[in-house]
Copies of this chain bind each other. A is one copy, B any other.
């Protein structure tokens, strides 16, 4: 779960004020990190960071935690943060499987943007909306569960609708063409999404909500 010690990315990240190197130590205590009681939103797979950085700027009264398993990708996010002072943004370098060892019923919202679609059916459990992952999220959410998903992949989107619905989530804010829908107005794009817009390819989106079962 910690950053690698023997590579340059690990070294650079460890020095950043945005990166939390020992996230497991804050399990159940993330409000202490931000020093306020505001809602915490996490993005699983923040990549180069455009989405979560722009969210943190736009919504100063929400705390954001970006999650990314590849430290080399996070280097690119840190470049964007160089000249920004954002007290409501932190970054951690873990795999989504480790979420439960980092968060304990303290997250208000999860963003899944352009997650790996794992298009082969035999890999469906690796998709971030599989029931295996939804079970993990149950232990991460504070009150009601809220998952906001965007993807360009029709296999992942169809799978997610079914998986979320059969798990007990209610689906709303659904569009099969976000950028020609009413949801465009408030949408903050990712780097990947910008490329798709330029090509005129449709983006799918949904918001899934569920009253916490526990």
Contact = CB atoms under 8 A, between A and B. Distances in A.
B162 A165 contact: no
Interface string A41-62: 0000000000000000000000
Interface in A175-206: 175-177, 181, 202, 204, 206
Contacts of A171: 161-162, 165-166, 171
A154 B177 contact: yes
A170 B176 contact: no
Interface of A: 154-155, 157-159, 161-162, 165-166, 170-177, 181, 202, 204, 206
A113 B174 CA distance: 20
Contacts of A173: 162
Copies in the complex: 2
Contacts of A157: 176
Given A154-B176, A162-B174, 8 more contacts: A154-B202, A158-B175, A158-B181, A159-B174, A161-B206, A165-B171, A166-B172, A176-B204
A146 to B, nearest CB: 14
A171 B174 CA distance: 13
Given A154-B202, A202-B154, A172 B177 contact: no
B158 A176 contact: yes
Nearest to A206: B161
Given A154-B177, A171-B171, A176-B154, A161 B162 contact: no
Nearest to A175: B158
B158 A162 contact: no
A172 B171 CA distance: 13
B165 A172 contact: yes
A177 B155 CA distance: 8
A124 to B, nearest CB: 12
